[in-house]
Amino acid sequence: QKEVEQNSGPLSVPEGAIASLNCTYSDRGSQSFFWYRQYSGKSPELIMFIYSNGDKEDGRFTAQLNKASQYVSLLIRDSQPSDSATYLCAVKGDGNNRKLIWGLGTSLAVNP
């Protein structure tokens, strides 16, 4: 059974701090990794994807991937109250499989 695990939280950080969200996955053959943000009552929206080891930066967001440790993280710098949401980690397997394996999400609260 392929699994994606996330700490459910809630993770609480003060405004302006760095929020660090973590995700581990069980399938060593996984190729692509995605972070989605989901506000309460809304649909998931894609923030970033990463498929190479190392860091990928986009504005205040940095995704980090370590395939040897089967670990992917999302850093949010200068956290804002508007970042308060649930963050979902999703993993795509190898080959032609288009399906994603989803974590249950981490709830983030940014306190003013």
Q: In what order do the strands lie in the sheet with 71-76?
A: 4-6, 19-25, 71-76, 61-66, 54-58
Distance linking the first and last C-alpha atoms of the chain:
40
- With CB under 8 A as the contact rule, the residue among 16, 58, 59, 104 that binds other proteins is 104
By CB under 8 A, tell whether 2 contacts other proteins. no
By CB under 8 A, tell whether 11 contacts other proteins. no
By CB under 8 A, tell whether 87 contacts other proteins. no
Tokens of residue 2, six digits: 């392929």
Shortest CB 43 distance to other proteins, Å: 4
CA 14/CA 103 separation, integer angstroms: 25
By CB under 8 A, tell whether 7 contacts other proteins. no
Residue type, 38: Q
By CB under 8 A, tell whether 43 contacts other proteins. yes
By CB under 8 A, tell whether 23 contacts other proteins. no
